[in-house]
Structure 1
């Protein structure tokens, strides 16, 4: 019955292939994209994956759901070379995340996995607004992830079956609300979710709603990992005003999350220097908080300076190979 319903859904949605790019960008692989609108109300989804003949069914498929930051389109999030969008309004937005190029870097380095990235965009340009508008957003977001997993299995010609998919929930900025709403709707975080990533996106964290679920999920499997990158944003003043309250920024929320994990019995190691404060547990937890005594804005820089790559490869054999978090862009050769 499930497969019949899924077939009807795909037929009704009439997905379109956005493009299929011939070789050269991802070593010897090709990539293809599918776009869907309306999988849930006021949403747009773009799936980027290797073409089926380049998917190895003997290898795990890592599916990264990337919930977009407020105000950005999927095209801006994917990124372009500055000269390719020089005359476009808000052209600077194409040069601050480069998730497409960072994904290609992942594919070039990790030949033992198939990488799929799923861009999640709210038509309201903010998952915070979307979640507030729809009271049943936790159920909707769960259904969205479930549907996309089935689409990937179908489009891969069965080479990336649901049972072979390792799911990563990743987000930037207001995209964190998508993840928190999803978690809120689950009694426990499902075991097929292997990594949860917050790239300066933990504004919505609440101890009473999330800490016990994170701890239980981290304890379920040695393969589960939580990655959080943020910065001290309480020192930032814009137009004469602080951009966040003393307890509302991601730096504060990240420290709160680390403290809650420790209170639940997780043996995190803390360290600090002039650049970062960190809370870590080998291969399982990495919480990095950028120090910011001069009140600079590092919101998107945490993504741009290899943050997406680092968040996916933390705790793997490829960690810090060919890149460094907060270093120079490792993915420049892969930018369109």
Structure 2
């Protein structure tokens, strides 16, 4: 059994000794020159919990404002992806671009750079959460105490950020956004499972086609109570009808196992609990929207795979800004990439 070390010990072993600036890799090409271009600082923390990698991306100190509260986006990675692939990169060489296609399907770093430029209400820090098993689903299965582990990881990251930026991002001035894609949703759901209630420090929860693991009995009441409590909270879900997808002659998900079905279930549970939502439907999306919640489900009569496209087409940007005065300003969900010029090596820079 894994015993949780004391907070003092984890601070020393998990942060001070294991803190390191990531070096460039052959394909990621994330080095000091690129970080300087975007005025960022990129730090890795290892060994906070078993089989995990954490990378924290800070804007430069010159871009951090004491007058602003700090939004910390914790992004739980999809199955099969590394942090570097999730951050994103443009390859000029076509052969490399085709070979390393995972670098061009999320572009979370560029989407966060767009947010930093457009949303001057907050400082933005993004934290990438990777399981070294390449899947939070298998990580959770391997660790029976994963709810406690994930809460400990979250607590350690918050304390690390407060330690790094004591005058700018102390714990009371951190606003957390729990975001996830694909199997990263398992991290978020197990995190919630380990909480008596979702704390007020969590401002937003964003499921980017990652809500497979939603269960009414485990999560419904906690999400409802969290949405209802002041100050304003926001739950965002983007999914698609994946039950129509056929791959190698078989359905990729069962009739009740996909994100589209689970999104309808989440919306139904919230409505039955008392959350008022309008139902908006067209040929592209079915949307449930109300105070503190937006659930979008992509229609899919032709059985296409939209799993990563939901992220690529400004998915994270929309989940962070939806419901605010900046919603759809200088971007549109499901439109062209609003963040292209913020991609490393982008020809649009």
TM-score bracket for this pair, using the shorter chain length: over 0.9
Q: Which residue among 316, 319, 330 is the counterpart of 2:324?
A: 316
Structure 2 residue aligned with 1:183: 192
In the aligned structure 2, how far is the partner of 1:97 from the partner of 1:108? 19
What is the aligned partner in structure 1 of residue 12 from structure 2?
Answer: 8
1:166 counterpart (165, 175, 183): 175
Question: Quick one: distance in 1 between partners of 2:88 and 2:35?
Answer: 19
Q: What is the distance in 1 between the residues matched to 2:11 and 2:303? A: 52
Does residue 299 in structure 1 map to residue 303 in structure 2? no
Structure 2 matches for 1:224-263, cutoff 5 A? 224-263=233-272
Quick one: distance in 1 between partners of 2:15 and 2:272? 49
Q: Distance in 2 between matches of 1:33 and 1:84?
A: 26
TM-score (norm 2): 0.91
Residue 216 of structure 2 corresponds to residue 212 of structure 1: no
Residue 71 of structure 2, aligned match among 52, 59, 62: 62
Mapped contact 2:15–2:45 kept (Cα < 8 A): no
Question: Counterpart in 2 of 1:327?
Answer: 335
Inter-CA distance 62–277: structure 2 relative to 1 (3 Å threshold):
same
Q: What CA distance in whole angstroms lies between the structure 1 residues aligned with 2:112 and 2:95?
A: 24
Which residue is 1:290 aligned to? Answer: 298
Cα distance, 1:86 vs. partner? 4.0
Which residue of 83, 88, 92 corresponds with 2:101?
92
Tell me the matched-pair count: 330
Cα pair distance change 1:175/1:10, threshold 3 Å: closer
* 1:118 corresponds to: 127
Give 2:111's aligned residue.
102
Contact 1:170 1:198 in 2 (8 A): yes
Contact 2:245 2:303 in 1 (8 A): yes
Residues 23, 172 of structure 1: CA spacing in aligned structure 2 closer, same or farther, 3 A cutoff? same
Pair 274,65 (structure 1): closer, same or farther in 2 beyond 3 Å: same
1:50 matched to which residue of 2? 59
Q: Deviations over 1:80-111 (max 9, x none)?
A: 00326843785010000000000000001012
Unaligned runs of 5+ in 1: none
Query: Which runs of 5 or more residues in structure 2 are unaligned?
Result: 1-5, 23-30, 345-349
In structure 2, the residue matched to 1:129 is: 138
Whether the 8 Å contact between 1:55 and 1:160 is mirrored in structure 2 is: no
Would you identify which runs of 4 or more consecutive aligned residues in structure 1 move more than 6 Å?
none
1:133/1:7 CA distance change after superposition, 3 Å:
closer
Q: CA deviation at 1:318?
A: 1.2
